[in-house]
Structure 1
Amino acid sequence: MKIVKTDCIVLKKREIREADLQVTLFSKEYGKIMATAYGIRKSQKRNIVSLNPLNEVEIMLFQKNNYYVIKDVEIIKNFKNILKNIEKLEIALYVLDSIDKIYYTANENGNFFNKLVEILSFIDTLPYVKKGYKYYVVLSFLRRIMIEQGIYDIEEIISILINEKKENKKKYKEVMETLRTSSDIFEIQDRFEEYTNFVKKMVIIFENFINKNLQVELKIKKFIMEEFYGD
């Protein structure tokens, strides 16, 4: 059994037995891994809060094949601004759930780990999140996933949009133009309110596209509940 050390994002945790935790981590060197923290729920020496979802941690593990036991953990960043804002939390929890469903255990993906930290840091530092922009952040994340997984086909996506309504292609171009012509986050958020329903539609199209191509089941309505299917 060897000792390994790596940076991770905590995706989820669950209690097992009387004092243990099973934790799902997305790590820089080893991809997604499952690890067990024995006795942490009764230990006064180990900080159980460090293994909360959304934390970026440096973790030391005992490894034997694909079996990991947590030896030590230290918080690097806890994205505290996300935890204080419901709109940011909705997006972040959807991101974590999507990573958990899409990535298999023990697949190395250091480049995407860095992107994930970048995405969460961006959400954390936003001054606020308006409704339309919230869906755009989700859309951008899904696009990144599609590129990373090699399934991003903009021609097919535009074809799906046009099949629903011809004006959708025009709206898509307008949304892209909004991002190209302004770097002011306040102005961009204000302008995106006009496209809220359209961006919602794009999120569903991207999500369905990912579900079909990767054989997963992402469900944004579990995380963003506000009349998502009402328009």
Structure 2
Amino acid sequence: MKKLKVKGLILKKKEVGEANLLITIFSQEYGKLVGMAYGIRKSKKRNVASLNPLNIVEMLITEKNNYHIIDETETIKVFNNITKNIEKLEIALYILDSVEKIYDLSYENHIFFDKILEILDYIDGIKSMTEEYKYYIGVSFLRRIMIEHGIYDKMELKEILGERLGKVYDNLVKINGENSNNLEKIQNELKKYSKALKRITYFFEKYININLQVNLEIKKFVVEGI
């Protein structure tokens, strides 16, 4: 039995019994972990809200035979602006669901952990988000997943998308790069590519789902399609 001090992002919570919570966390130190917070829903001393998905927390965890018990929690950051905006919340929850599905327990990758927090910080910080830009962030996130799993070759990327959508994707990246300091202009430009953005998202999802044996589905998180 040992004690772990963990900093991480809450991906998922599930009520167990009358008072317990089963928590999935993507941690900086140990990768993805699942732990039980016993009695927390009835405790007057422990803050149950600290274990809401999207929170960044520090935890003290007891590990015994690969089983984790969450003893203490402290909230480090809450993405308040994401929770107040439906477009932001949809894509943020999609990112959490994707990380939870893709990465195995104890998968450790400091760079990817920092990248996820960077993406969420960005979403939280921008003033507004159109539906098209929501899909663009989704596409960029899926591309990052592909890079993490060895898909660097642009020719391979075009094989996934096909020639026409491959050219559209290149144009989308160019629009974002040339207007990196003008979010309003980027979002206005992306309105021309509503249907294409949706199709690119689904092609990337299909490729990842087949190769990683998962089931990513942005449609489950988007209230209204483009």
Q: TM-score, normalising length from structure 1?
A: 0.93
Secondary structure at the counterpart of residue 42 of structure 2: coil
Aligned residue among 177, 194, 197 for 2:195: 197
Secondary structure at the counterpart of residue 62 of structure 1: strand
Shift of 1:167: 3.6
Tell me the matched-pair count.
Answer: 225
The 5 Å alignment of 1:187-226 reads 187-226=185-224
Deviates more, 1:72-81 or 1:107-116: 107-116
Secondary structure at the counterpart of residue 135 of structure 1: helix
Shift of 1:205: 0.7
Secondary structure at the counterpart of residue 106 of structure 1: coil
Structure 1 residues without counterparts, runs of 5 or longer: none
Inter-CA distance 41–137: structure 2 relative to 1 (3 Å threshold): same
The answer to whether structure 1 residue 170 and structure 2 residue 167 are counterparts is yes
The percent identity for this pair of structures is 51
Could you give the per-residue CA deviations for residues 124-149 of structure 1, whole angstroms, max 9, x where no partner exists?
11110012111000001101111112
Structure 2 residues without counterparts, runs of 5 or longer: none
Are the equivalent residues in 2 in contact too, given 1:151–1:213 (CA < 8 A)?
no
Q: TM-score, normalising length from structure 2?
A: 0.95
Deviates more, 1:216-225 or 1:45-54: 216-225
The answer to whether structure 1 residue 182 and structure 2 residue 196 are counterparts is no
Deviates more, 1:120-129 or 1:143-152: 143-152
- Aligned counterparts of 1:56 and 1:150: Cα–Cα separation in 2: 28
- Aligned counterparts of 1:227 and 1:88: Cα–Cα separation in 2: 14
Could you give the per-residue CA deviations for residues 197-218 of structure 1, whole angstroms, max 9, x where no partner exists?
1111111111001001101111
Report what 1:52 is aligned to.
52
Shift of 1:152: 4.6
The answer to whether structure 1 residue 117 and structure 2 residue 114 are counterparts is no
| CA root-mean-square deviation | 1.4
